[in-house]
Amino acid sequence: MTSILIACGTQKSASPTAEDFDYTVDKFADIEILRYRVPDFDSLSLKQKELIYYLNQAALEGRDILYDQNNKYNLLIRRTLETVYTNYKGDRKSADFERLTTYMKRIWMGNGIHHHYSEDKFIPEFSEKFLEASIKSLEPELIAPLLQPGEKAENLIQKLLPVIFDPTIYPKRTNQADGVDLILTSGNNYYEGITQSEVEAFYSKMKNPGDSTPVSYGLNSKLVKENGIIKEKIYKQGGLYSSAIDKIVYWLKKASEVAENEKQRDVINSLIKFYITGDLKVYDEYAIKWVQDLDSQVDFVNGFTETYGDPLGLKGSWESLVNFKNIEATKRTEIISSNAQWFEDNSPVDAKYKKEKVKGVSAKVITATILAGDCYPATPIGINLPNANWIRAEYGSKSVTIENITEAYDHAAMGNGFNEEFMWSDEERKRAKEFASLTNNLHTDLHECLGHGSGKLLPGVDPDALKAYGSTIEEARADLFGLYYVGDPKITELKLLPDKEAYKAEYYQFIMNGLMTQLTRIQPGKNIEESHMRNRQLIAAWVYEKGKPDNVIEIKKRDGESFVVVNNYEKLRTLFGQLLAEIQRIKSTGDFEGGRNLVENYAVKVDAALHAEVLERYKKLNLAPYKGFVNPVYTLETNKKGDIKDVKVTYDENYIDQNLRYSKDYSSLPTFN
């Protein structure tokens, strides 16, 4: 949906308030594209704005890297579609052209041919014939940049068709299914011509088990076998992806010149050194400096970071996020961190499983200024880095909540009919409207800053004792810690919530989501697999069952539809406390059987009738289950002498224009790398 404001070309003001901001940008397939505000950007100093501008540029320059990492044909497909889209001479209102537009938008959303969340390859709704004819109708000079030396348009078409249309080619981006070669069956481009066992042998030879400060082997390279020889192609200047990395380094150098302080300059310079050398020891030096820079207001992530895209968890996908600290909101996480010991001491957990001394986590609330690479268009709402375990243990980690993104989610959800459809009465809806944003953020803070860090293992207990159930139990533990304390009088005493009733908004939504509405994301006939979803159902289903004698929670029927009703919030809080105590016991003692019973009995199975009902009701609302974002546009304002006078933020770019602009201005990689 394009807003009227955009259609008539009115430029939105630089500091719009949440109320007069239009959060919705576009909608296609199962995706809705939103925009986000950057509140208080104008309150930053000129130097800070300049720093952000350069870091933003460095962020956008990495875009092509992720496309190529996700699949070796992604850049070719994106460039071909964009060329057709921009130069198409046929009927731009035809069904086929609209389908091509949708497919191109989906490619941008997934940074390639696979769905960003399910990671399945999606197949376009236009025909092979249509694509073929569209490519052939292009002027030769438009096709030329898409061809490899010696190729003709016909070769290009023969190369593209199977990758785009054949469901058996690259069916999944990252294959996690057991029992097959995960490298050969994954569609991404971290490995080539090599089997899983060869990869495992290659890296296990590198590792030294006695090393207490191991580098993240394989993080910044593609592993290939060429003429029988296995070698790493390192992502660095002069190595793989050099032309994009050159640009990133160029902008990082500019950023370094306007750093806020010496510590931050050192952080940026270490990152530059890493991009130049590709040396993972240098990367760790950079990560250690980065995690210790707590004074700078501007901060960033830029590099080969998360390893979810590699089935073996070695290769880092490129991402960047630039941000500045939201000083007002960070007071909230600081209050929580500074009371960490009180929360630990007063939790309902058995004393022998508690930490005698809690180490506060450095946590802050941030305002994102740009999302890029694996953070764009879909983005996390919280990040906790660095990933290297030994650095986390020795130097700690930084945990952030990206509040201008959660704000966009919350506002976009307002008035979309979801609460009207699924909440029991106006009482719940009113409370949600008034408090849900606040309590949601607070629950996330408690989960991240305290929940994961609370409790301890008994001596000799293996941290991996719960095996495949470990991550569900761990998420449940952190969620329960947060739920228990959101409803504690201490929270209003610390002025973290304005009202003694506010916590009920979080409780109701949590239970409604865990018992019912999260099922909208599950395909009919399937069980729950994802560990965060399992954890939510585990908690909701357990307290529902245990609260039955006191009628704490009911599922009531009205006109044949089911609704969650919470009758006793205080008792519900007691039940959260009981489950927290039990889950902490399971974790602390490594009780595998206990963990398995909880997960298998409460977290996995889906009530088929309720599931069908929820899906039916959700479908009527015509909502997109996944969200992506467009970034604001930043412009340098200079005087006649070329001195920078200001950096302006505008919010009127739509999804298509933004992605076409990025492809034009920030695309330095060759089509094949």
Minimum separation from the CB atom of position 448 to Zn ion (A): 7
Backbone angles phi, psi at 194, to 5 degrees: -145, 145
Q: How many residues does the chain have?
A: 673
- Judged by CB under 5 A, the stretch of 67-75, 221-229, 470-478, 588-596 that binds Zn ion is 470-478
61 or 474, CB closer to Zn ion?
Answer: 474
Binding-site residue total for Zn ion (CB under 5 A)? 1
Q: How far is the CB of 7 from Zn ion (least distance, A)?
A: 41
Distance CA(288)–CA(276), nearest Å, equals 18
Quote the radius of gyration of the chain (alpha carbons, Å): 26
Q: Which of 268/478 has CB closer to Zn ion? A: 478
At its nearest, how many Å lie between Zn ion and the CB of residue 555? 27
Of 24 and 362, which CB lies nearer to Zn ion in the complex structure? 362
Contact 648, 637 (CB under 8 A): yes
Stretch that binds Zn ion, among 391-399, 477-485, 575-583, 598-606 (CB under 5 A): 477-485
- Taking the complex as a whole, the smallest distance from the CB of residue 447 to Zn ion amounts, in Å, to 6
Please, what is the minimum distance in Å from the beta carbon of residue 451 to Zn ion?
Answer: 7
> For Zn ion, which stretch binds (CB under 5 A), given 131-139, 252-260, 471-479, 564-572?
471-479
CA dihedral 236, 271, 633, 74 (to 10 degrees): 30
Distance in Å, CB of 445 to Zn ion, minimum: 12
* Closest distance to Zn ion from the beta carbon of 389 (Å): 16
Closest CA to 37 of 20, 54, 61: 20
Using the contact rule CB under 5 A, the part of the chain among 126-134, 199-207, 364-372, 475-483 near Zn ion is 475-483
| Smallest separation (angstroms) from Zn ion to the CB of 400 | 13
Beta bridge partners of 563: 556
400 touches Zn ion (CB under 5 A): no
Task: Write down the least CB distance from residue 478 to Zn ion, Å.
Answer: 5
Nearer to Zn ion, 297 or 509 (CB): 509
Q: Should residue 55 be labelled a site residue for Zn ion when binding is judged by CB under 5 A?
A: no
Nearer to Zn ion, 352 or 532 (CB): 532
Could you tell me which of 641, 638, 664, 633 has the C-alpha nearest to residue 14?
633
CB 54 within 8 A of CB 255: yes
* Residue 104 or 480 having the CB closest to Zn ion: 480
> Closer CB to Zn ion, residue 64 or residue 506?
506
The least distance separating Zn ion from the CB of residue 506, rounded to whole angstroms, comes to 16
Handedness of CA 396, 438, 476, 319 (dihedral sign): negative
Q: With b meaning 16 or more CB within 10 Å and e meaning fewer, what string describes 117-146?
A: eebebbebebeeebbbebbeebeeeebeeb
Nearer to Zn ion, 242 or 439 (CB): 439
Stretch that binds Zn ion, among 235-243, 478-486, 541-549, 553-561 (CB under 5 A): 478-486
Q: Which is nearer to Zn ion, 158 or 389 (CB)?
A: 389
Neighbours of 193 (CB within 10 A): 13
> Residue 298's beta-bridge partner residues?
324
Residue 540 CA, distance from chain mean position: 24
Q: Closest Cα to residue 454, out of 338, 589, 588, 594?
A: 588
Tell me whether residue 478 or residue 656 sits nearer to Zn ion (CB atom). Answer: 478
Nearer to Zn ion, 301 or 480 (CB): 480
User: What DSSP string describes 196-238?
Assistant: HHHHHHHHHHH--TT-SS---TTTTEEEEEETTEEEEEEBSTT
Q: Minimal distance in Å, beta carbon 397 to Zn ion?
A: 13
Rounded least distance, CB 471 to Zn ion, Å: 9
Residue whose pair of structure tokens reads 């800053």 in the numeric block? 449
CB-based contacts of 8, cutoff 8 Å, min separation 6: none
Q: Which residues contact 369 (CB under 8 A, 6 or more apart)?
A: 38, 41, 52, 55, 56, 322, 323, 324, 632, 634
Which residue type, as a one-letter code, is found at position 262?
E
- In terms of phi and psi (left: phi > 0; alpha: psi -120 to 50; beta: otherwise), the region of 119 is left
CB closer to Zn ion, 183 vs 361: 361
Task: Spell out, one character per residue from 341 to 380, where the chain touches Zn ion: x when CB under 5 A holds, - when not.
Answer: ----------------------------------------
- Binding segment for Zn ion (CB under 5 A), chosen from 280-288, 397-405, 472-480, 614-622, is 472-480
Which CB sits closer to Zn ion, 180 or 393?
Answer: 393
Count of Cβ atoms closer than 10 Å to residue 89 Cβ: 9
Q: Which residues have CB under 8 Å from 509's CB, separation 6+? A: 432, 436, 440
Cα angle: 349, vertex 494, 514; to 5 degrees: 50
Closest approach of Zn ion to the CB of residue 532, in Å: 7
Closest separation in Å from C-beta 25 to Zn ion: 29
Query: Does residue 478 touch Zn ion according to CB under 5 A?
Result: yes
Smallest gap from Cβ 382 to Zn ion, in A, equals 8
Nearer to Zn ion, 388 or 478 (CB): 478
Which range binds Zn ion by CB under 5 A, 361-369, 413-421, 473-481, 619-627? Answer: 473-481
Positions in 608-667 near Zn ion (CB under 5 A): none
Residue 279 Cα to chain centre, angstroms: 27
Sign of CA dihedral 85, 105, 24, 325: negative
Report the DSSP pairing between strands 31-35 and 24-28: antiparallel
Question: 544-583 mask for Zn ion (x: CB under 5 A)?
Answer: ----------------------------------------
Residue nearest Zn ion by beta-carbon distance? 478
**Minimal distance in Å, beta carbon 535 to Zn ion?**
9
Which C-beta is closer to Zn ion: that of 272 or that of 478? Answer: 478
Separation between Cα atoms, residue 250 and residue 648, nearest integer Å: 22
CB closer to Zn ion out of 119 and 474: 474
Q: What letter represents residue 47's amino acid? A: K
Other Cβ atoms less than 10 A from the Cβ of 400: the count is 26
Closest CA to 401 of 472, 476, 323: 323
Residue type, 112: G
Give residues in contact with Zn ion (CB under 5 A).
Answer: 478
